[in-house]
């Protein structure tokens, strides 16, 4: 890959409320804080990021489709759609880009319905329970896949 790999970072419904509500579950970091640290870390890794959030399943699917020809990988926190959306799973499968699924909380320690993820079936890795640090870990995993593994 000659130019810097491009990574789409997608955030699902209600993640725009991060840091503003329910800090006992999701912490005090806002989504803007996460975006800033992703941009800084991506630059250090030699990646370019497009960071987006939507409360609409349709909008998220549209961005996934657009990524097929414009991005090299997808990092996604599908939020509640993780547990419900066959449509997002199908879209990710359809574009066939390397995908990492992330969650701020440890979904396996929470309600039973959060233990099911449609997206995990089409992700090469899943990170959960590390808070905002999970986004940085996902960028590291993506850099290893897209840069280091090409050179090996």
> Active-site residues: which are they?
26, 103
Determine contact, residues 74/7, Cβ cutoff 8 Å: yes
Q: Smallest distance, Å, CB 91 to ligand CA2? A: 17
- Residue count (the chain): 152
Residue 24 as a binder of ligand CA2 (CB under 6 A): the answer is no
List all residues 6 or more positions away from 79 whose beta carbon is below 8 Å from its beta carbon: 11, 12, 13, 14, 15
Cα distance between residue 105 and residue 47, in whole Å: 25
Residue 17 as a binder of ligand CA2 (CB under 6 A): the answer is yes
Residues 82-101 that bind ligand CA2 (CB under 6 A): 82
Residue from 4, 80, 97, 126 that binds ligand CA2 (CB under 6 A)? 80
Cα distance between residue 10 and residue 53, in whole Å: 6
Q: Smallest distance, Å, CB 28 to ligand CA2? A: 10
Binding site for ligand CA2 (CB under 6 A): 14-15, 17-18, 21-22, 26, 77, 79-80, 82, 103-105, 107, 114
């Amino acid at each position: 890959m000659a130019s810097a790999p491009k990574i789409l970072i997608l955030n699902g419904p209600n993640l725009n409320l991060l840091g503003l509500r329910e800090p006992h579950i999701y912490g005090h970091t806002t989504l803007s804080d996460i975006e800033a640290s992703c941009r800084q870390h991506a630059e250090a890794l030699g990646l370019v990021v497009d960071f987006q959030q939507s409360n609409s399943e349709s909008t998220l699917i549209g961005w996934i489709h657009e990524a097929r020809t414009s991005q090299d990988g997808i990092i996604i926190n599908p939020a509640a759609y993780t547990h419900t959306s066959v449509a997002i799973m199908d879209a990710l499968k359809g574009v066939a880009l390397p995908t990492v699924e992330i969650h701020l909380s440890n979904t396996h320690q929470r309600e039973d319905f959060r233990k099911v993820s449609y997206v995990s079936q089409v992700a090469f890795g899943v990170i959960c329970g590390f808070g905002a640090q999970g986004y940085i870990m996902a960028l590291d995993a993506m850099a290893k896949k897209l840069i280091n593994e090409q050179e090996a």
